Amino acid sequence: MLSRFGLIAFASSLDTPGIFTRSVTDTTLVYDSMVGRDFNDSTSIDANENCSNSFDHLELFKSKYKKGSGLKGVKIGIPIEFNVEELSNTMRELWQYGIDLLEQEGAEIVSVSLPHTKYSLATYYIIAPAEASSNLNRYDGIKYGHKVQTKKVLTLNEFYQQSRSEGFGTEVQRRILMGNFCLSRDSFDNYYGKAQKMRMLIKQDYQRIFDSGISFILTPTTPTPPFLISKQSSNPTEEYLNDVYTVPISLAGLPAISLPIKRSFENFEGQSGLPLSLQLISRWRQENNLLNVAWCLEQNANMQQLKLEEIEF
Amino acid sequence: MYRNLNIFRSYSTSWESVIGVEIHAQIKTTTKLFSNAPNSFASLPNTLVSLMDCSYPGSLPSLNTRCVSLAIKTGIALNCKVNKKSYFERKHYFFPDLPSGYQITQQSIPLLINGHLTITMPDYEKTIRIQQIKLEQDSGKTLSDIDRDLSMIDLNRAGTGLMEIVTEPDLSSSNEVAIFIKNVIGILQTVGSCDCNMDQGSLRCDVNVSVKRKGGKDGTRCEIKNLNSIKFITKAIEFEVQRQIKIIEENEIVTQETRFYDASKDITYFLRSKENFVDYKYFFEPDLLPLEISENEINSLKNRLPELPQLKRERFILQYKLNNFEANLLVEDNFYSNFFEQCLGLKRCPTKIANWIINILFRLLPNRRECTLTPFQFCFLFDLYENKKITIDQVKFVIKLIIEGNKEPIEDIVENFNSQSNYQNLNFFCEEVISNYPEQVAKFKSGNINIINFLVGKAVKK
């Protein structure tokens, strides 16, 4: 729906331009200006009436909105597999809070099952680095970008190795190595091949849920509240765990929006007032309705506008 | 001597050559396969490069559907099956003339498979199976002979569409390979999918050669590259076959390797070993959709195919009563088969026209690929000759003038020529010849009539 032309490619089958705004209404404006088929991107598709002119659709929704019945007849799915051990109490409470808000608007809350959720992280962390390692092959120091500066005469391979080692940071190098491994002939079937198959199964999980009458899914965006920069984990695998709720959505290619619902009033690591977010997911090509529901949630949420001066890092 | 000949015979009849061919043909479209940069040969370096061709960050491939149509038409002409859903894949390796670090090609499921082409050798016919035809990008060019210390990279060619035509190892001799490639060139030119200009590199061939004893097990094959004319292909194959036979006869083992052909020394030399396996890390290209072709599209392309060389040759033989040799030569190049048929316009005798083209025109042209003579000019001379208004030598003379660049209308050229050889001059030349060759004149007078040809020849030379 949104063209990737012009984006520095990371993992082509997962890359999507993201829209950051301060309100759902702003999101509709930005989205409307970007949506649609771009002939420069062979994988982009046309937008139909359910996923274009979202601003107008939201205005219409707002005009008909009556508090307490905005979501009458809408079924919201709550996936049980997302209730994992790593989910902090703060975020679990937030999730319940969000569920209550939607119920107050007349939505019907349904428990759903997405059985392949537990494989999402592994699947993502095979597919993404694999495709990234391929897309990053072009940074070889020959035509643009960092080039090793030395008086010594290098062989071609030495030139590539040094330019790329100097030019890429640690995390990128890590992902390239992981990706190369997953695509290598001996490992391909067990890693990349299997990951693509698992990706299809994950997508089918969501398809089944949406086919059964569920219109939207509500989950926390992250398993824990935001962590401070000073307190970042040095273990990359731990870092990857933070993506556990967003990764399956990315793999399935579903439209999703994350919005802050309330501030943490709990003393978290000596700081309070950090924004906590929930994620709303819809089926493919239902962006207009997704944004309507997101706006509804935004109206009911207890979230003040963030003022940057208040936060100390 | 007799004994040596015997050994030679058994030496050559107990061995079989097993040859497969990979032809890379540049697809003749105005723009490249995945970018809208122009596809052209002679341009200043790096002037035909789009963002996609130099793999600029943020660029994405966009398929040129005309390349697909031409490839399908070529495949149908070669009796291939069209895969209604085929996939593009990435083949990864690092080299300066490959800007993205990977080539977009087709690997597991190519566009066309299981074709065949029947070639007509002097004594027999043979069907060569075509394993597949796939679409892929061409790389840029690396030039190392301009500056001793630098490799120059020209990306004009990077991204041009290629059809890679791969045969099964069904060919058994250098002659068969030559005929096969000529036939493929005929088809590509007729379909219009490739220029087939081996000098300019729009058609490149690699051959895989192995030898085995009759009835024995298969030998190890070597790939030979850098063959840019059919003549070199045949010479390289012959050298390689002898090289491999010699190795095996001396109880050594042929190693699997890639070799280059050196035309100046007429040898193949070792380039790199194939034993160090390169892992290209193939996976499906995520920036492109699977290539889907409908039955209707295939039929529409099939119906738009022009008359193919095989059929044309049969028709020339049947319709115009040409023999095999003549028909083959005319059909080999689309330009000349059209030229021939245009000349036949006003009920001119086909066999005579064919004879003229083959024995006069072809012999006078320094390069058959460039012919500035038009059918109209050709027929003008032909008609004059048939009406006995001009001699054959005069015809050759005029044709030569036109080929060398004379742009005057042909009527004027012939007019000038005729006025040059007027009666007076003719008399003068004849008298000169008679006085220069008294011996021959005496022979003529004493009954040797044929000697007149010698004297006439001398006069004409004047």
Contact B102 A137 (CB under 8 A): yes
A185 contacts in B (CB within 8 Å)?
A: 279, 281
In this prediction, residues B69-81 reach a mean pLDDT of: 96
In this prediction, residues B83-88 reach a mean pLDDT of: 96
A40 contacts in B (CB within 8 Å)?
A: 60, 62
What was the pLDDT predicted at B112? 96
In this structure, the number of other CB atoms found within 10 A of the CB of residue A165 comes to 11
What was the pLDDT predicted at B4? 43
The model's confidence at residue B389, banded by pLDDT at 50, 70 and 90, is confident
Contact B281 A40 (CB under 8 A): no
Q: Tell me what the pLDDT averaged over chain B comes to.
A: 87
B54 touches A at CB < 8 Å: yes
pLDDT at B186 over 70: yes
B59 contacts in A (CB within 8 Å)?
A: 5
What was the pLDDT predicted at B140? 93
B61 contacts in A (CB within 8 Å)?
A: 42
What is the interface size between A and B, counted as CB pairs within 8 Å? 77
Helix (H) or strand (E) holding A26: helix A24-34
In this structure, the number of other CB atoms found within 10 A of the CB of residue B411 comes to 10
Phi then psi for residue B227, to 5 deg, are -110, 100
A311 touches B at CB < 8 Å: no
B60 contacts in A (CB within 8 Å)?
A: 4-5, 9, 40-42
B292 touches A at CB < 8 Å: no
A144 contacts in B (CB within 8 Å)?
A: 56
- Selecting from A42, A157, A192 the residue whose C-beta is nearest the C-beta of B62 gives A42
Q: Which residue has the higher pLDDT, B448 or B402?
A: B402
B58 contacts in A (CB within 8 Å)?
A: 5-9
What was the pLDDT predicted at B415? 76
- Selecting from A4, A140, A185 the residue whose C-beta is nearest the C-beta of B101 gives A140
Of A287, A281, A217, the residue nearest A48 (C-alpha): A287
Alpha helices in B114-254 (DSSP H): 174-191, 230-249
Q: What pLDDT digit, counting tens, does each position of A142-200 carry?
A: 999 999 998 888 888 999 999 999 999 999 999 999 999 999 999 999 999 999 999 99
Alpha helices in B409-462 (DSSP H): 410-420, 423-436, 438-445, 451-461
The model's confidence at residue B6, banded by pLDDT at 50, 70 and 90, is very low
d(CA A107, CA A70): 8
In this prediction, residues B344-369 reach a mean pLDDT of: 84
B375 touches A at CB < 8 Å: no
Contact A140 B283 (CB under 8 A): no
Q: How far is A111 from chain B (nearest CA, A)?
A: 34
What was the pLDDT predicted at A311? 53
A33, A55 Cβ separation under 8 angstroms: no
- Selecting from A131, A137, A156 the residue whose C-beta is nearest the C-beta of B100 gives A137
d(CA A75, CA B359): 86
In this prediction, residues B440-447 reach a mean pLDDT of: 77
What was the pLDDT predicted at B403? 84
Q: What pLDDT digit, counting tens, does each position of B258-293 carry?
A: 999 988 888 888 887 776 678 999 999 999 999 999
Q: What pLDDT digit, counting tens, does each position of B132-153 carry?
A: 999 999 999 988 877 777 888 9
A20 touches B at CB < 8 Å: no
B101 touches A at CB < 8 Å: yes
Contact B283 A138 (CB under 8 A): no
B56 touches A at CB < 8 Å: yes
User: Among residues 61-80 of chain B, which lie with CB inside 8 Å of chain A?
Assistant: 61-63
- Selecting from A6, A134, A142 the residue whose C-beta is nearest the C-beta of B90 gives A134
Longest dimension (CA), chain A: 74
In this prediction, residues B396-411 reach a mean pLDDT of: 83
The encoded tokens of residue B370 equal 């460039």
B290 touches A at CB < 8 Å: no
B344, burial (CB in 10 Å: exposed 0-12, middle 13-18, buried 19+) = middle
Contact B55 A143 (CB under 8 A): yes
Report which DSSP code applies to B359: I
What was the pLDDT predicted at A47? 87
What was the pLDDT predicted at A266? 58
Handedness of CA A208, A214, A220, A223 (dihedral sign): negative
In this prediction, residues B185-193 reach a mean pLDDT of: 92
Phi then psi for residue A68, to 5 deg, are 100, -15
Which of A31-35, A102-106, A305-309, B169-173 is least confident? Answer: A305-309
Give the angle subtended at the CA of B99 by the CAs of B98 and B100, to the nearest 5°.
100
For an interface test with A, give the residue of B102, B107, B283 to mutate (most A CBs within 10 A): B283
- Selecting from A6, A183, A192 the residue whose C-beta is nearest the C-beta of B58 gives A6
CA distances from B253 to B210, B246, B250 (A): 12, 10, 9
The encoded tokens of residue A94 equal 């937030």
Of A290, A281, A300, the residue nearest A51 (C-alpha): A290
Q: Is A97 helix (H, G, I), strand (E, B) or coil?
A: helix
- Selecting from B56, B283, B287 the residue whose C-beta is nearest the C-beta of A43 gives B287
In this prediction, residues B114-132 reach a mean pLDDT of: 93
In this structure, the number of other CB atoms found within 10 A of the CB of residue A282 comes to 25
In this prediction, residues B220-232 reach a mean pLDDT of: 91
Q: What pLDDT digit, counting tens, does each position of A67-102 carry?
A: 888 888 899 999 999 998 889 898 999 999 999 999
A39 touches B at CB < 8 Å: yes
Closest B-chain CA to A153: B149
The encoded tokens of residue B28 equal 């003749």
d(CA A288, CA A298): 15
- Selecting from B60, B100, B283 the residue whose C-beta is nearest the C-beta of A40 gives B60
**pTM: predicted TM-score of the whole model, two decimal places:** 0.83
Q: Is A193 helix (H, G, I), strand (E, B) or coil?
A: helix
Handedness of CA B322, B325, B328, B333 (dihedral sign): negative
Q: Computed over its alpha carbons, how large is the radius of gyration of chain B? A: 28
What was the pLDDT predicted at B11? 46
B278 touches A at CB < 8 Å: no
d(CA B387, CA B395): 13
Contact A134 B92 (CB under 8 A): yes
Q: Tell me what the pLDDT averaged over chain A comes to.
A: 90
Which of A243-252, B191-200, B395-404, B421-430 is least confident? Answer: B421-430
What was the pLDDT predicted at B419? 65
B366 touches A at CB < 8 Å: no
A128 touches B at CB < 8 Å: no
A155 touches B at CB < 8 Å: no
Contact A42 B283 (CB under 8 A): no
Of A226, A42, A243, the residue nearest A128 (C-alpha): A243
B94 contacts in A (CB within 8 Å)?
A: 137, 140, 156-157, 160
What was the pLDDT predicted at B95? 92
Closest B-chain CA to A13: B286
The encoded tokens of residue A279 equal 């994620």
**ipTM > 0.90?**
no
Q: What pLDDT digit, counting tens, does each position of B10-51 carry?
A: 445 689 999 999 999 999 999 999 999 999 888 899 999 999
